[in-house]
Amino acid sequence: MKTLREVTATRYVHPLRAGGSVPGVVEADDLGTYVLKFTGSAQGVKALVAEIVVGELARRLGLRFPELVLARFDPAIATDEPHQEVQDLLRASAGLNLGMDFLPGAVDFTPEVAETFALDPLEAGRVVWLDALTVNVDRTVHSSNLMVWPTFGTAPPRLWLIDHGAALVFHHRWDGAPPDKGHDKAYDFRHHALGGYGPDTRAADAELAPKVTEDLLREVLDLVPDEWLTDEPGFATPGAVRAAYVRYLLARAGASAAWLPTDFPSRDELAAADARRAAVTRRGRPAWLKHVPDLHGRPGAEQDWSVHLG
């Protein structure tokens, strides 16, 4: 059985406060630098399971995704961290955690970046298709979880996927078996980060759905460590949990005709909808709040990885 490469963190650089789980940048004994996702975070190990399953599935479907490693972490290397809440997180995360390769020089895919970034509709469609398959609710115009990384020479920058901890929402509510309903459930992708590129999801479906086989899903699930699958209520073994993921995702891939998102509003239509929502919100505010800005969904609120990517 293939496993992710394992490293040991040797230096804790700093936390990334923009992310809700407060990941940290670390250096490791392979001389690599990684963004470390901690088992002690509020999202728990299921977020790390989702990171592996969706990220490694993306890689096998031809999408760009940073290398993942299993990272041994000793809180003793971070004793200089001054913030108590971060120290609590680090102490709760001793042992095995998940590292994502650091992309030096990459920038967040923000609405401002999107205005000048060229992306083929088929590539956009592949990303949307993956998100629909894995029920990823966190790739919106306000929180893209996408990075733009420059390439060498004259080649244009490329789009990279990151952060899939909010995907696979079904695994938060199963009890001994995957849900027997919902494989064909449609999700609202009108606010998808790539909706403005006219994603060709039909072409993406024709290309990608046949590739999501039982063997491929088993290969991906085998990368999840046993210890992150042992406490799932109703499942006797980690292998039984893996099989449940495989069954659900295989059934969902087979039902793509039912959930395939095909209708995406333009950027102007999204802006108009946001303006209408803001106006309604303001009308419902008390008088003393009328002049307080509506910060919901502002572009600067998305996870900003550029602070550590240089």
pLDDT tens, residue by residue, 36-92: 999 999 889 999 999 999 999 999 999 999 999 999 999 999 999 999 999 999 999
Q: Which residue has the tokens 């030096």?
A: 104
pLDDT at 153: 64
b/e for 3-22, b at 16 or more Cβ within 10 A? ebeebebeebbebbebbbbb
Q: Is the pLDDT of residue 108 over 80?
A: yes
pLDDT at 79: 92
Would residue 31 be called left, alpha or beta, if left means φ above 0 and alpha means ψ between -120 and 50 degrees?
left
Q: State percent of the chain over pLDDT 90.
A: 65
82 CB burial (10 A radius; 0-12, 13-18, 19+): exposed
pLDDT tens, residue by residue, 280-307: 766 666 665 555 444 444 444 333 443 3
Q: Is the pLDDT of residue 154 over 80?
A: no
What is the average per-residue pLDDT within 83-106? 94
pLDDT at 267: 66
Residue 304 vs residue 243, higher pLDDT = 243
What is the average per-residue pLDDT within 203-215? 98
What is the average per-residue pLDDT within 142-169? 89
Residue 173: pLDDT band (50, 70, 90) is: confident
pLDDT at 284: 63
Mean model confidence pLDDT for the chain: 87
Q: Is the pLDDT of residue 7 over 60?
A: yes
pLDDT at 76: 96
Residues, the chain, total?
A: 310
Q: State percent of the chain over pLDDT 70.
A: 85
Residue 18 vs residue 147, higher pLDDT = 147
Which domains, from first to last, does the chain contain? 6-104 (3.30.200), 107-259 (no CATH)
